[in-house]
Amino acid sequence: MAEFKKADSMLEWFDQRLGVINFSKVMMTEYWIPKNINFLWAMGALLMMMFGVLLISGIFLLMYYKPDVALAFDSVNYTIMHDVAYGWLFRHIHAVGASVIFLVIYIHMFTGIYYGSYKKGREMIWLSGMLLFVLFSAEGFSGYMLPWGQMSYWAAYVITEIFGGIPVIGGDLVVWIRGNFYVSDSTLTRFFMLHVLLIPVVMLGAIAFHFYSLRFPHVNNEAGEFFDYDVEAEKYLAGDKKGSKVIPFWPVFLAKDFFVMGVFLIFFFYLVFYYYGFAMDPVNFDKADGLKTPTHIYPEWYFLWSYEVLRGFFFEMFGISGKDLGLMAFAFANGIFLVMPWLDRSPTVAPANQRPYFKIWFWLLMIDLIVLTIFGKLPPTGANAWVGFASSLSFIVLFLALPVITTLEAKKLGAK
């Protein structure tokens, strides 16, 4: 057996045994993090942790779940919830985790927008992030179908129906996605495969890509400042810790991440034990019935804003039917965040509060998204329908105006 000298730290212990990768070298002396970043920069680490939580709780659920329309509902609501020891706990962790991860994703995305972290060489970080957003949305949607409750069935029906709006191939595409003319057993089985295999595997690759694209030019910071990491690291190593703009990733920065994770976990388990209901729609405790449409059909909270954009255009305009306008607006809403790095025409990398026009744009967008989310859950009748229309239109106008606003802002800031 190989002999090892006494290790001074855990990292050294691993270095001695693994040999190939020198962890302490990589982590102690080569990986540096800007000093001036706040708790919002811990959202990425939180997402990584929540991905792990979902994976592990999902594996436990997988041991008892049955992907068959005759068995799925009972396997979740009776077997897992009542018969299996702690099955309820794993279900609550999984359901609450799936809902809360979207809250963290949105905070992570809007932090990126607020600080302009998608600009100047960081486009690939943004694009890989948007890929992750699409994958998480598909994962959330496919998972919601698995308990085979009323809302699982009807949400799947409405969302797959949307593809029917694509010209020429729409009708065939809907049948292809469902594997049948209506949402049925074949739909459940394929969504099950997507949820537990294909999407998670692609996600792992996308997360690796997201991290890889972060290595250069590294994360942004609160001041949007560019500096030489090597020079700053030298200063730190030479003992000028105060003057240096960086801190070592391990263990200095990670301690901060762990603190945020700890606080988040208190909030998370509070929800899991006392407020799990918010992640589970009461209608979904009725078994799916293709002959009984629920009074109101709505998706989970994190899709409500784009669902409201879909419903917002409910009357004919310019000779185009309300349904088609809604579909076009929905496609716009889902695609527009992807091109954010090119819509923002100002080269200034700074927090929104230091950008006179962008600041207003950002907060208007936040208000609009909250209004869309609230009205997305209400029945689209009377005044609600008009609020939906106004907020959907505002969403589109805000994004169309962004290049103009940011060009004007760049001129104003440049002229100073």
Q: State the minimum distance, in angstroms, from the CB of residue 129 to ligand HEM.
A: 2
Binding mask 209-228 for ligand HEM (x = CB under 6 A): -x---x----xx--------
Q: State the minimum distance, in angstroms, from the CB of residue 24 to ligand HEM.
A: 21
Q: State the minimum distance, in angstroms, from the CB of residue 57 to ligand HEM.
A: 16
Q: Is 27 in the site for ligand HEM (CB under 6 A)?
A: no
Stretch that binds ligand HEM, among 80-88, 128-136, 167-175, 277-285 (CB under 6 A): 128-136
Nearer to ligand HEM, 44 or 376 (CB): 44
Q: Is 260 in the site for ligand HEM (CB under 6 A)?
A: no
Q: Is 272 in the site for ligand HEM (CB under 6 A)?
A: no
Q: Is 91 in the site for ligand HEM (CB under 6 A)?
A: no
Q: State the minimum distance, in angstroms, from the CB of residue 42 to ligand HEM.
A: 6
Of these, 26, 45, 55, 336, which contacts ligand HEM (CB under 6 A)?
45
Q: Is 133 in the site for ligand HEM (CB under 6 A)?
A: yes
Q: State the minimum distance, in angstroms, from the CB of residue 33 to ligand HEM.
A: 9
Nearer to ligand HEM, 73 or 302 (CB): 302
Of these, 11, 15, 43, 346, which contacts ligand HEM (CB under 6 A)?
43
Nearer to ligand HEM, 41 or 153 (CB): 41
Nearer to ligand HEM, 133 or 154 (CB): 133
Find, among 375, 393, 394, 367, the residue nearest to 315 by Cα.
Answer: 393
Residues forming a β-bridge with 246: 34
Q: Is 54 in the site for ligand HEM (CB under 6 A)?
A: no
CB 164 within 8 A of CB 324: no
Q: Is 47 in the site for ligand HEM (CB under 6 A)?
A: yes
CB 194 within 8 A of CB 138: yes
Of these, 109, 159, 174, 405, which contacts ligand HEM (CB under 6 A)?
109
Size of the site for ligand HEM (CB under 6 A): 25
Q: Is 41 in the site for ligand HEM (CB under 6 A)?
A: yes
Q: State the minimum distance, in angstroms, from the CB of residue 298 to ligand HEM.
A: 23
Backbone phi and psi for residue 67, each to the nearest 5 degrees, phi listed first: -80, 70
Site residues (vs ligand HEM, CB under 6 A): 41, 43-45, 47-48, 51, 105, 108-109, 112, 117-118, 122, 125-126, 129-130, 132-133, 207, 210, 214, 219-220
